[in-house]
Amino acid sequence: MTPMRRRAALVVVCVLALTAAGCSDSKHRYVVNSTENISFRVPRSWTVYSLPTGAQDRISPDSPDDVELLWSSGFDADPNPAREHLDAMTDYGRVTVEHPVGVASVYQIQGTYNQRVSLTAARTVPLGVDPLFVSDDVRSLVEIIDYQPVTNFRGLQGTRVVFNLRSTSDSPWSTYDMLTLVDQGRFRMYTFTVGCLGPCFESSRRQLTEIATSWRFEQ
């Protein structure tokens, strides 16, 4: 095993176990799902929520039993945190989110949905829109800042997109960093999204990038 792989493995084991003294970090808290072997970290001062799970008819209305949300965790940087701030992520342009909020989720995908799921379909799950493929009549409401395929997790296909989004041409921009991954062999789909109003995102960009890149998956 190379030194880089050993360090990566140590990070994952350390985070998932949460027992070794070397894992302590006074500035951050780790959000962990040990069953699915995933984790990420957020500033310790942020509020973390456990969100409802269950069947997700909105994702696969033709096959309502094919998609189930197994786990979902939200986080809110607002000094006055509220679950409503997480809901506001999907109300871009209508509800202002002046502090970073985010949601990480794990879905079980099976049946016909698993057979036909694409990266485009996965990217529509967090916000109801794939920022990379929008129709001409709403193209002015989306701006791509950065895009890159995700290749560092064996067996998973995915993308990471940073983009601006608004509901109307005169609405303020909201900016998002969105990671989506699909593993058809394990019947899983993973999504991770963090965002807020454009000026908020710009001023917090380094911190939000650190959060997004802290996402870990151990097979």
**What tokens were used for 208?**
């939000």
Alpha-carbon distances, residue 197 vs 30, 93, 106, 164, 208 (angstroms): 25, 9, 25, 9, 13
- Domain-located, residue 182: yes
CATH code at position 112 = 3.40.1000
* Structural domain containing residue 99: 45-217
Which pLDDT belongs to residue 64? Answer: 85
Least confident of 5-19, 94-108, 182-196: 5-19
- Domain-located, residue 18: no
What percentage of the chain carries pLDDT values higher than 90?
63
pTM above 0.75, yes or no: yes
- Domain-located, residue 12: no
For the segment 156-200, what is each residue's pLDDT rounded down to a tens digit? 889 999 999 988 888 889 999 999 999 999 999 999 999 999 999
For the segment 71-80, what is each residue's pLDDT rounded down to a tens digit? 999 999 999 9
- Domain-located, residue 40: no
Q: Are 75 and 42 in contact (CB under 8 A)?
A: yes
Give me the number of domains the chain comprises: 1
- Domain-located, residue 22: no
Which pLDDT belongs to residue 74? Answer: 94
| Spatial CA neighbour of 165 closest among 192, 201, 117 | 201
| Spatial CA neighbour of 94 closest among 165, 179, 191, 178 | 165
* pLDDT of 27 above 60: yes
- Per-residue pLDDT band at 10 (split at 50, 70, 90): very low
